[in-house]
Amino acid sequence: MTVEIPSTLSEAAAPFAAPKGFLWGTATAAHQVEGNNTASDWWALEHSGSPVITEPSGDAADHFNRWPGDLDLLRDLGLDAYRFSIEWARIEPERGVFSSASLDHYKRMVDGCLERGITPIVTLQHVTLPAWFRRGGGWSATDASDLFSRYTEYVMPAIELGVPWVATINEPNLQPLMTALHNNDPKALNAWNGGPMPVPTEEEITALIAAHKAASAVVRQNSSAKVGWTVSVPDLQYTPEGEVHAQKWFEQYDAPFLRGARGDDFIGLQNYFRTSFDENGLVPLPETARMTDLWEFYPQALGHAVRTAYELTQGLPVLVTENGIPTTDDQLRIEFLDTALRTLGKAIADGVDVRGYLHWSALDNFEWALGYAPKFGLISFDPVTFERTVKPSAHAYAQMVRAARAAGRM
């Protein structure tokens, strides 16, 4: 399927002049789009009767089989980067049992990206874990780092094909929530109902950083890929009286993982919204706030979050690995992209070293406990026929990319 840019869409003004080599792309995660990830902890959770699960993932977007056509769509849009995850549960469905066929699948995906002129950006662990690893204690197990680095070593033949960017662990600051969900902890139920997220313990932070560094060492020893991890960072806003509350919150959830990235080759920055504090603590959204289908519409958050990540990692290059909104209003997504990219451009103009922007997500997908209702994708799909439909926002994004590239050349 070839994407044709509708002539009715006018050329977008450049959101900023893209630096030479700046990556423009989009992202997915294996469990959310591949389908039938039966050896994972999330598949088990989806079929456990957990009260937070809306619906099971099932076939998802069948990206496991339809990835060549999906890459064709991204190529035809003019995008030159694609972030996807290798699924540990497919590679090692039982402890010590490795699947050569699954490794070959991801090797073909890497080759498929390179053949189309798309830079493959690989995540080694994106939310899901093998069910056996979760049952054994997950990241808190005494041998977690050894097991994760062993898996990393097994998938290096895919990385060595020409993957220039590797993220080890996706959003380590949200791993405590994942643990709480799998343990049916009331904290998880409360979080899904709008309550506070579980706070990472010192033990959890130490274990995750150790696993990240162990896997990073394997990548560096066996390839020339840049290696880091991705951290979800909001735009932290506060009044003078609210600064103490804001800094305490930030130290609990985000700062340890940003500092844990120091010494890496880059930091993957993921941003979706702002978080505000005053003298009373967390500020609730005003009734007049513009909303997406899940949270506040505030695209300006990206530029601020990028600066935070850059400063706290002591100047690591930043790769925006996720940024987008859940909405069925595609015009709202276009507005979001335009504004978010302009704030990103301002950060770049102020000296922040940003290497690329990856929109979340390429496809509408399985949004974890929320099921298929939230729509993040630039491309939709029919859940029965799996036919893809490229949304107007994808065409608008493609035009913004062309304009930014042209401005950069000028």
pLDDT tens, residue by residue, 194-206: 788 899 999 999 9
Q: Is the pLDDT of residue 73 over 50?
A: yes
The CA–CA distances, whole Å, from 234 to 169, 223, 243, 246, 301 equal 18, 32, 15, 11, 7
Confidence band of 300 (pLDDT split at 50, 70, 90): very high
Rounded mean pLDDT of 85-110? 98
- Judge if the upstream peptide bond of residue 361 is cis by omega within 30 degrees of 0: yes
Q: Is the pLDDT of residue 291 over 50?
A: yes
Q: Is the pLDDT of residue 2 over 70?
A: no
Q: Which amino acid is at 191?
A: A
Rounded mean pLDDT of 187-199? 81
Confidence band of 275 (pLDDT split at 50, 70, 90): very high
Rounded mean pLDDT of 286-300? 96
Count of Cβ atoms closer than 10 Å to residue 280 Cβ: 11
Torsions phi, psi of 185, nearest 5?
-70, 135
Position 36 scores a pLDDT of 98
Rounded mean pLDDT of 237-250? 97
Task: For residue 276, list its beta bridge partners.
Answer: 237
Position 19 scores a pLDDT of 96
Position 385 scores a pLDDT of 98
Position 332 scores a pLDDT of 98
Count of Cβ atoms closer than 10 Å to residue 243 Cβ: 14
Alpha helices in 240-378 (DSSP H): 243-253, 255-259, 301-312, 330-349
Q: Is the pLDDT of residue 8 over 50?
A: no
**Comparing C-alpha atoms, which of 217, 214, 235 is closest to residue 225?**
217
- The dihedral through the CA atoms of 70, 71, 73, 79 has a sign that is positive
Position 12 scores a pLDDT of 58
Three-class SS state of 172: helix
Position 191 scores a pLDDT of 82
Tens-digit pLDDT profile for residues 361-393: 999 999 999 999 999 999 999 999 999 999 999
**Mean pLDDT rounded to a whole number for the chain:** 95
User: Do 19 and 408 contact (CB within 8 A), yes or no?
Assistant: yes
Confidence band of 189 (pLDDT split at 50, 70, 90): confident
Q: Kindly give the pairing relationship between strand 165-170 and strand 119-125.
A: parallel
Q: Is the pLDDT of residue 192 over 90?
A: no
Torsions phi, psi of 160, nearest 5?
-70, -10
Domain boundaries, given as residue ranges, for the chain: 23-409
C-alpha span between 390 and 378 (Å, rounded): 6
Position 186 scores a pLDDT of 84
Both structure tokens of 214: 């162990």
Confidence band of 5 (pLDDT split at 50, 70, 90): very low
Rounded mean pLDDT of 168-182? 94
Three-class SS state of 68: helix
The CA–CA distances, whole Å, from 30 to 35, 143, 273, 288 equal 8, 24, 24, 37
**Comparing C-alpha atoms, which of 376, 410, 405 is closest to residue 81?**
405
Q: Is the pLDDT of residue 135 over 80?
A: yes
Torsions phi, psi of 140, nearest 5?
-85, -5
Rounded mean pLDDT of 166-176? 96
Confidence band of 10 (pLDDT split at 50, 70, 90): very low
Task: Report the Cα–Cα distance between both ends of the chain, in Å, rounded.
Answer: 32
Instruction: Strands of 90-203 (E only): list them.
Output: 119-125, 165-170
Q: Is the pLDDT of residue 11 over 90?
A: no
C-alpha span between 228 and 82 (Å, rounded): 16
Q: Is the pLDDT of residue 335 over 80?
A: yes
Three-class SS state of 389: strand
Position 126 scores a pLDDT of 98
Q: Which amino acid is at 323?
A: N
CATH architecture, domain 23-409? Alpha-Beta Barrel (3.20)
- The number of residues making up the chain comes to 410
Position 334 scores a pLDDT of 97
Angle at 205 between CA 282 and CA 183, to 5 degrees: 80
Confidence band of 80 (pLDDT split at 50, 70, 90): very high
Q: Which residue has the tokens 């990540």?
A: 309
Three-class SS state of 226: strand
Confidence band of 287 (pLDDT split at 50, 70, 90): very high
